[in-house]
Structure 1
Amino acid sequence: MAKNSAKRLKEIVKVSAFYGFGFLVDNKIKRQDNSPENLRLACEDLGPTFIKLGQILSTRPDILPAEYIKELSKLQDNVLPEKFKDINKVIKSEFGKSIEELFLKFNEIPLASASVAQVHEATLKDGREVIVKVQRPEISDKMETDISILSRIFNLTKAKFKDTLIDPSEALNELLDSTRLELDFNIEAENIEKFRKINKSVACIYAPFVISEYSGKTVLTLEKIKGYKIDDKKGLLEQGYDLPDISKKLALSFLKNIFEDGFFHADPHPGNLLIRDGKICFIDFGIIGNLNKTLRDSLNDAVVAVAYEDINKLISVFMSIGIKDGFVDRNQLYEDIDYLFANYLNTSFENINMSYMLQEVFDVARRNNIKLPKELTLVIRTFIILEGVIAQISPEIKVLDIAIPYVKSHNLNKDIDLDEVLLNTHIFLKNSVKVPTKLIEVSDNILSGRTKIKLELKNLDKPLNELNRMVNRMVFGLVVSAMIVASSLVLNSNIGPKVYDVSLIGVIGFIVAGISGLWLLISILKSGMM
């Protein structure tokens, strides 16, 4: 290990021990008070990489308990600014020209100084006022060193995380991915342009122009937006703004971006939301959420299922997008969701936060060994921040009150995807052709004794008539299947009385089988045992 790495490792061990986490890196140190607050303080003391790691973990309620998520969300990303001469070197390295050659004015004192970059006000040669985000020199090397050390520590301490919710390897991979994205300002520029494009028809939403000729991998130059911070209630009221109206528009914009566009600003704290000329202006696109169509539809279905207290629908959503992380007992899952609806959500929606509702639903999935996509956890974190902002300026506005009608309407008015319909129709027809052959195989196997039906009986204390009904349905289903097979054989043989050269016996057999099968299906659905 290099000298600098060894020195840094000692620093990490020392700070970790001070805040009660020394047992993770040194077996000789006893486990101490490792409260959520101590974890946050340790991250702040250890600098940029650990602040970033904490911020990433604050977006992952599927990895850490709620109390840790809440505390890590408070992480402050303010550090001492770099010397101006070093900032000039970064700009010259990016463009081949000095600050004096590129800008008419450039404020040496930064507006803000974070772990990865700092922000300066400037004026271009043509007089346009801009904001220049400059990456800290050598920040990439420093973060790579810390990540390498973390990797070594995690490899040595895997056993200590065995019975916890924390997956160190997963957290480290998240850190690596996030770091690569955040250290390339070209990606942030692309995010801004995409956000502008998908919201161009939304009159109340705005994002700054990217000045592309003054932007690159380590420098990002944007249009300067002069406005009021969204939590500046006094300033906004003095300008005649309607705060509840701003809150509703903000909530609706996020619902559109999440449920329709699948692309949303995932860090909507007050410092990133400005009000100017009646528009909500978004800045700092370092954290962006992406949801593909499958995840958007599933999230939509989950919210609708909660709104209608449709337990089976919610289970279907879990099973379709979740990854089984062990045995999943559907009966237990059903009971947990039923308990959730009865004890937590059986109240007016105005008393429930959107983030709380989603968090509770996701916790049920996690307790039942279903791991939901990490992209959806970022949605929860975004709603936590969003609801906090709205609570500051309009406490009477509840995001869930806006979300439920929106999602229901969106569900009803969803455009039909013709390609998807054609594909599903093709698959259905293709499989339908195989049905008679498969049924004949099943009947042959039954008649020859090759088919075995395995029944696993649980909860024997339940009434025996439930078991009787189940067996009766199975027998009835087999009879219906046999009728379909027999009718198919009669039609193929073309025997008996005919109508339009089609066997009447076969047609009647199909009709009777169809009606019987429909009756059986309806009885199963009514019983709730589907």
Structure 2
Amino acid sequence: IKQPAARDAAWNETHAWGAREMERVICDFGGFFRKVGQIMGTAKQMMPPAYLESFARTMDANPPTPFPVVKRVVERSLGCALSERFSRFDERPLATASIAQVHAATLRDDGRDVVVKVLVADKKMMIGDVASMLHTSIALKRVGLDNGVDFPTVFRAYQSVIEHEFDFNVEARKISEFREVFETHGLSDRVATPRVVDELSGARVLVMERVRGVKVLDALNRARRRGRVPRLPSRARDGVFHTVFRAWGVMLLRHGHYHSDPHPGNLMLRRDGKLAILDWGQTQIAPASYRAHLCRLVIHMCAEDPRAIANEVRTRSQVKLERPTTEALTALCYAYFDTRPSALAEINMFDLNNSPFLRNKIVQNTEEGFFTIRTVFLLRGMMRACGVTASMVSSWERDARAAL
């Protein structure tokens, strides 16, 4: 099609069809496919609008598991009937995600409002989904259809962590760990984690005090339906993301263990103004050597020193480009390890005519750093949707220097 307007119309029609089909696949298959949808649903800078709308609808809205199944799981975990522990237990879930669904309830003994997170996913199926995607990505890479991104490394990274999400005892311990981290680093007045009711929680059921507020996902979805950014004063928007930057800087650079799934369904603005970080199932350990590498990279990026940035990547990073020029490595860092406006980050990697990765392929991706990049990617997408422009790395310089 030679006429630009007609070509654009044809593409829009194709995208609308493709988005509907992909939403159907995600809803039909569930499991790990929903995690892919979570990533792409925040990629406002890279995805056509039709896909953003479809993926956003899948984030916190899995088809619910029937309540009799949920009840059976909870009662097995408690060792008693629901009515013995809860005076109220809503059959309709508050949220349904890739692995678990969440129900509101009230404790019988003290009347506290709680949420009950119930493991409902099939572990073997979820692990099988990742294995299938890995095998597919390997085949695509062999025939040159991976757009120069090295997707096999990405799926190997997921393979290495997914099993940990199926034990809520681990998640409960992490919630306590990170509450102490935020208290130690002076962030407890701005950042909150849910409080676990330990005596009612187990490997498949996690009971927590209910957090009241507005999920960032809900605010974004309402704004998207109206075709505008969320209604919030710019100072408040900037303040929220400054808190996000500080929290992740402390976790990643100072503590060496961080929440690696900050999609908008996992962030809530509480009524008291605190940022509540939800769903601690997916976290990552940053080994000391990797953390030191990131700290040096932060300092070089804040100084805007291209040679130092490129040298750090060449000598310390697992990422390998076909042509590792100073310009290419520097652009890669600012695009995928920072949230500032970046021409590279705005390019659709699936655009076969313009994707820079087809001209300078990623020969080897980073399994170690993938979840760090994913975290930045999710936060960048949220910022774009909220109309916020800021550099996360600039907020991290103090933490980087302290950690070194």
Q: Common fold, TM-score beyond 0.5?
A: yes
Q: How does 1:265-344 map to 2 (within 5 A)?
A: 265-272=259-266, 273-323=268-318, 333-334=325-326, 336-337=328-329, 340=331
Query: 3-state DSSP class of the match of 1:373?
Result: coil
**Contact 2:114 2:210 survives alignment (8 Å):** yes
User: Match for residue 352 of structure 1?
Assistant: 341
The change in CA–CA distance for 1:160 and 1:196 in structure 2 (over 3 A counts) is: closer
Query: 3-state DSSP class of the match of 1:127?
Result: coil
What is the CA distance between 1:132 and its match in structure 2? 0.0
The change in CA–CA distance for 1:286 and 1:408 in structure 2 (over 3 A counts) is: closer
1:414 has 2:378 as partner: no
User: Match for residue 229 of structure 1?
Assistant: 215
What is the CA distance between 1:73 and its match in structure 2? 6.5
1:117 has 2:100 as partner: yes
Bigger relative contact order (CA 8 A; separation at least 6): 2
What is the CA distance between 1:104 and its match in structure 2? 2.2
User: Match for residue 434 of structure 1?
Assistant: none
User: Match for residue 399 of structure 1?
Assistant: 390
* Structure 2 residue identity aligned to 1:294: S
**Contact 1:58 1:381 survives alignment (8 Å):** no
* In 1: Cα distance, 2:403 partner to 2:127 partner: 46
**Contact 2:32 2:126 survives alignment (8 Å):** no
TM-score (norm 1): 0.56
What is the CA distance between 1:40 and its match in structure 2? 3.6
The change in CA–CA distance for 1:350 and 1:313 in structure 2 (over 3 A counts) is: closer
**Contact 1:265 1:285 survives alignment (8 Å):** yes
User: Match for residue 256 of structure 1?
Assistant: 250
User: Match for residue 118 of structure 2?
Assistant: 134
**Contact 2:246 2:396 survives alignment (8 Å):** no
What is the CA distance between 1:382 and its match in structure 2? 2.2
The change in CA–CA distance for 1:177 and 1:127 in structure 2 (over 3 A counts) is: same
The change in CA–CA distance for 1:181 and 1:38 in structure 2 (over 3 A counts) is: farther
1:71-111 deviation per Cα after TM superposition (whole angstroms, max 9, x unaligned): 69647142222222211111122232221222222111211
Query: 3-state DSSP class of the match of 1:132?
Result: strand
* Structure 2 residue identity aligned to 1:333: T
Size of the alignment, in residue pairs?
359
Q: How does 1:427-438 map to 2 (within 5 A)?
A: none
What is the CA distance between 1:122 and its match in structure 2? 0.9
User: Match for residue 26 of structure 1?
Assistant: none
Bigger radius of gyration, 1 or 2? Answer: 1
**Contact 1:321 1:373 survives alignment (8 Å):** no
**Contact 2:34 2:58 survives alignment (8 Å):** no
User: Match for residue 364 of structure 2?
Assistant: 371
1:54 has 2:36 as partner: yes
RMSD after superposition: 4.6
What is the CA distance between 1:246 and its match in structure 2? 3.0
The change in CA–CA distance for 1:253 and 1:215 in structure 2 (over 3 A counts) is: same
1:90 has 2:73 as partner: yes
1:372-403 deviation per Cα after TM superposition (whole angstroms, max 9, x unaligned): 5334332333233324434555x3x5331x63
Q: How does 1:66-81 map to 2 (within 5 A)?
A: 74=56, 76-77=58-59, 78-81=61-64
**Contact 2:74 2:82 survives alignment (8 Å):** yes
* In 2: Cα distance, 1:109 partner to 1:274 partner: 23
Q: How does 1:175-186 map to 2 (within 5 A)?
A: 175-186=158-169
TM-score (norm 2): 0.71
Task: Tell me which of 375, 386, 400 is aligned to 2:379.
Answer: 386
Q: How does 1:500-515 map to 2 (within 5 A)?
A: none
1:216 has 2:197 as partner: no
What is the CA distance between 1:36 and its match in structure 2? 7.5
1:286-340 deviation per Cα after TM superposition (whole angstroms, max 9, x unaligned): 33243223223322322333343423312321133334769x76xx5235458x5
What is the CA distance between 1:215 and its match in structure 2? 1.1
**Contact 1:36 1:67 survives alignment (8 Å):** no
* Structure 2 residue identity aligned to 1:154: H
* Structure 2 residue identity aligned to 1:88: K
User: Match for residue 182 of structure 2?
Assistant: 199
* In 2: Cα distance, 1:309 partner to 1:168 partner: 29
Unaligned stretches of 5+ residues in structure 2:
1-13, 223-229, 350-355
The change in CA–CA distance for 1:157 and 1:208 in structure 2 (over 3 A counts) is: closer
**Contact 1:355 1:384 survives alignment (8 Å):** no
* Structure 1 residue identity aligned to 2:100: A
What is the CA distance between 1:183 and its match in structure 2? 1.8
Q: Among all aligned residue pairs of Structure 1 and Structure 2, give the percentage whose two residues are the same amino acid.
A: 22
User: Match for residue 26 of structure 2?
Assistant: 44
* In 2: Cα distance, 1:131 partner to 1:354 partner: 42
Q: Which moved more, 1:377-386 or 1:99-108?
A: 377-386
Query: 3-state DSSP class of the match of 2:369?
Result: helix
1:247 has 2:241 as partner: yes
* In 1: Cα distance, 2:250 partner to 2:306 partner: 26
The change in CA–CA distance for 1:333 and 1:254 in structure 2 (over 3 A counts) is: same
* In 1: Cα distance, 2:270 partner to 2:363 partner: 41
Task: Tell me which of 135, 160, 172 is aligned to 1:154.
Answer: 135
User: Match for residue 190 of structure 1?
Assistant: 173
User: Match for residue 439 of structure 1?
Assistant: none
* In 1: Cα distance, 2:312 partner to 2:291 partner: 11
What is the CA distance between 1:66 and its match in structure 2? 5.8
Unaligned stretches of 5+ residues in structure 1:
1-31, 417-530
User: Match for residue 164 of structure 1?
Assistant: 145
Query: 3-state DSSP class of the match of 1:399?
Result: coil
User: Match for residue 502 of structure 1?
Assistant: none
**Contact 2:114 2:209 survives alignment (8 Å):** yes
Which structure: greater helix fraction? 1
* In 2: Cα distance, 1:133 partner to 1:227 partner: 18
